[in-house]
Amino acid sequence: MQKENLGCRGAYLIIDEVNRADVDKAFGDFFTIFAGIEPSEWIIPEALINEVRSYTVRDRYGEELLKFIDNGDLRYIKNVGYQVPSDFRVICTLNYVDIRNLFVLGEAFVRRFARILIDYPSDIDKELETLFHRASREFSSDIVNKFRNDAEKYLKELIEELRKIERLPFGPAYVYSLIRTALAYMSLNPNERPINALKIALDTSLTLSILWDDELRNNVRGIIDKVLRV
């Protein structure tokens, strides 16, 4: 709501990995305010504002909300509530890998959003360029260049093949984790062959994937053995 004074358009509330919470319990007022996917349906109920006013002790967020209300910054609908600005958006990301610590999202929550699937990057060369550039800020250039020169072609083939497995999430964060693990190992063992460092990084990741069934584990192991048979 402060954006108008800053000369900006639109505002976002970003909730990362929203399914780490029990949404039905944690987002009670959210369901009331955001009744549907259309911005015209987004209303802050007058009863909710009155509840905030009734508190003798309020945090700064409550005070700021009441300030906007009292200044007339939100359109008032009589006996209903206050209109959420039409250019306000809520963006949530989902974690679909760490299933031991995640909650199922109910239909009441999901139907309030347009769902967008963000696929893997289409250009692996550009993806690796970005990841190695990021790694160069954390590790010495000599280590990064040595690993990249010897292992990049194998890493690229691994990415191409592993991403063909539908049940296996293998996004840029996973790739970067492999690169970091391999570079950390090479930093401690400067004479280690980069391809061996990559194998060790992969083995470390595989041992952590205890939720994989035998079929998935065998598929992944088969690809790794095929690509890294050097």
Residues 169-191 pLDDT 10s = 788 988 999 999 999 999 999 89
pLDDT at 23: 84
170 near 163, Cβ under 8 Å?
Answer: yes
Number of neighbours of residue 3 by Cβ within 10 angstroms: 13
Q: How buried is 31 (Cβ within 10 angstroms: 0-12 exposed, 13-18 middle, 19+ buried)? A: middle
User: 74-83, pLDDT tens digit by residue?
Assistant: 889 988 899 9
Mean pLDDT of all residues belonging to the chain: 86
In sign, the C-alpha dihedral spanning 154, 155, 160, 161 is positive
Nearest to 124 by CA among 92, 170, 78: 170
Per-residue pLDDT at 173: 87
Residue ranges of the chain with per-residue pLDDT less than 50: none
pLDDT at site 149: 94
Structure confidence by residue, pLDDT tens digits, 89-111: 899 988 766 666 677 788 888 88
What is the predicted pLDDT for the residue at 135? 95
Q: Give the pLDDT score at 91.
A: 92
**In contact, 65 and 52? CB cutoff 8 Å:** yes
Whole-number pLDDT of residue 219: 85
pLDDT at 144: 94
